Every structure is written in C-alpha cells, then in structure tokens.
Structure 1
Amino acid sequence: MTVLTERFTRAVDHARIAHAAQVRKGSGIPYLYHLLGVASLVIEFGGDEDQAIAGLLHDLIEDCGEAHEPIIRAQFGGRVADIVRACTDGTAEGKASHADPEAKRRDWLARKQAYLAHLHEAGGDVLLVSACDKLHNARAIVQDLENPGVGTAVFARFTGGRDGTLQYYESLARTMAARDVAVAPVLDAVVGRMHELAGALPRHPLAQS
C-alpha cells in the first residue's frame, strides 16, 4: 500500500501555485487537473510516494522553467527531481525560443524522437511516471474525439497535428510495451481507440521500438 504523507500535500500545493495561470489545451480546466490525474494513475499502478510526487511535478521544468529543478530537489529530494528531469522533453525556455510554426514543428519532432530514444534506456521510476502522463493525455484526446463538438479538430491544438500526434502516441505505446511497463496494455488500448476515432490508417510508429 502506498502511504502518502505531508510531503504529498506540499507537492499538491506547490504544483497548484506553480501552474496557477495554466489551463488544459482547448479548455478552461485548471492544469492541476492533469497533474492530479497523473499522480492518481501512478498510485493506481503501484507507485510509491516519490513517484506520485514526481507525477504532480513532472511538467514544472517543461512548462514553468529550469529554475524549478533546484527547488524540487531541495524540497522533495533527489529521487523526485531526477524523475521530473527525466520526464522532461524540453524546457519552457527552449520552447519559447522558437517563434515561427515551422521552427516549432522541427523542434517538436526532434524533442519527441529524442524522448522516445531516452525511454528505451530509462529506469522504472521514469517509465511509470511517463506512461501515466501519456495515458492521461491520451484519454483526454479520446474524450475530445468522442465529443461531437470537438472531434478531429482536437488535433489542431497540437504542434504535431493529426498525423504527428497519432504517430507519437503509437511509438509511445510500443516503447512502453517493449519495456514491460505495467501501464502499457491500458495505454495501447487507448491509443488504438484514438486511431480508430481519428479515422487513421493502420497504426504507424514515428520511430521503431
């Protein structure tokens, strides 16, 4: 049984404050919803408190900046900070440096390819948190695809567009399965549903697993 202490409570508050101005793409839902969802999935799939805290904080460097890494390390420990860093495929500063759409797309593709390669070597802590993050995001995409008011227009929110997004999630599902992550069967089913609703051709990976 995973025991949650006041460290987890502090991490929730830290995430709430750091992401206070952010909402989920295409909605007014506070971003904390996603972070709580990831942490919940980590616990559901057997994660411990450090891993659950990393689930809460996994987007801090990517969305709020590099300055958060030493804060995480000081307040929540090296293991949590290492997981958060390893789950980060780009920084807020790095993303902001690309202005035009084509540069953003090239940067997105390079980051996703590098992240997929990184997952082949990542440890169990990182794989669990990363898989839970991707599962929560994939479920949100499927929910929008099932919504007649959104449908395939959901892909306009993403730098990779429809094809890039589908290929990325296919590659994630294959990689998590190859690494035997507990979340992998659920992620694979959701990604399959995503492809079905998107009217996609047979599932095609961005990078071979």
Structure 2
Amino acid sequence: MRFVTSANIACGGHAGDEDTMRETIELAKKHGVSIGAHPGYPDKRNFGREPVKMDPLALTEEVAAQIRSLIDIANAAGAKVRHVKAHGALYNQADRDTEIARAIASGIYDDARGAGLLVFAAPRSAMLDAAKAMDLRIAREGFIDRAYEPDGTLRSRKLPGAVHTDPKVAVAQAIGFIRDGGVRSHDGTFIRLEVETLCFHGDTPGAPTIAAAVRDALEREGIEVRPPAWQ
C-alpha cells in the first residue's frame, strides 16, 4: 500500500465484505492513500472477470448498492471515498458497450454528484462518454501490468502475453504513458492514449515489486505522483 496513491476497494460484488472493506480503509488511511469504490459483477466464483447478463436497471442498482456500502463504512471510519472504478468484466464491457456503460454511470451518478466522486475510465471508452454525458468528473486510466491490442483495448487475459509481470516492462509502459502520451501494443504498434492515472492489479504476480519499481522510476524521472482525486 505504501507505493500507491489510490486504492480500488472491492465492495461486496466480485470480492470483499464489510470486514475486508473496513480493514482496507484503515490501511489506506494509515498510508495516506486515496480510497475508491470498485464495484463489479456479483460473481465471487469468477472474481468478476466473466460477463454476467444483467438487466440495465438491475445493474444500475447493483453498482449503486456496492458504492453505497463502501461509503457507509468509510464514513463510519472517518474516511472519505473519492473515486469509483468498475472491475474486471464490467470494466471491460463498459469499454465498448454503451448500454452497460450508461447503466454503470447511472449507478454512480447520485454518489458521484453528491460526494464529488471521480470516475476512472479507459480513454476512448463508452464508459468515459457515459460519464461525460452525465457531467461526472473523470480521470482517464492506463494499465502498466496489462498488454494492449492495436485498437487501444486491453488484451484478453485468456491470450498469451496479456499480463506484464516483469517490473522493467511495467516501468517502461508507465514512463511511456507519461512521456510519450501512449503505449505500445503487444505487436509493437504505438497507440496514443492520454491518461491521468496509472493502474496495476494487486493479484498480478510480483505486484509489490512492480509497484515499488514503478514508483521509484517515476520519482527518479522527476514525475510528481499524487492521487488524481485530490487534484
């Protein structure tokens, strides 16, 4: 936790319960890390990484309930939820599926407007457009531990080379996003993707080492590292 500036906390859908939410919030408070809600499909068996067919209204209500559960626990702990980001298959589908993106944005809307939550979304995505349409604050996100396709979407985890576990690769990708304004796809194609926040996954093999290496590299490059939700 000490290497990051923002944390996406599972709020009972794909993972997590009241105890884990409370514990993670306390850890974030200890390290001065910005707290974010991380709603996903209610599918703990697959960790929210497989699509779940849901009616748009039901999806909106599910997303809203998950965000609210984290906000309530954070408030009780004297902390504040500052951003929200969809998880796994929900995030990936919202990249291109306008109906799903709008359903998520609708679930975020009340708390994003009332609590000033920042919405993390992929550049060029339907999720970004849906959030903009509702006049929500946004931060475009790039991944440092995932490979990209030439069209700017994430390479499926089911394909080889989808996850970067080498800290040197993650560092190069992070610096590329910031210095070059984009990323190289798995086949070497340069994709222009301007981002305000960088993400890596806590379950990526060697995640703590990757986080430490990237944080150190950014600071050595003279790049200020701070939570986008605090700007």
TM-score, structure 1 normalization: 0.32
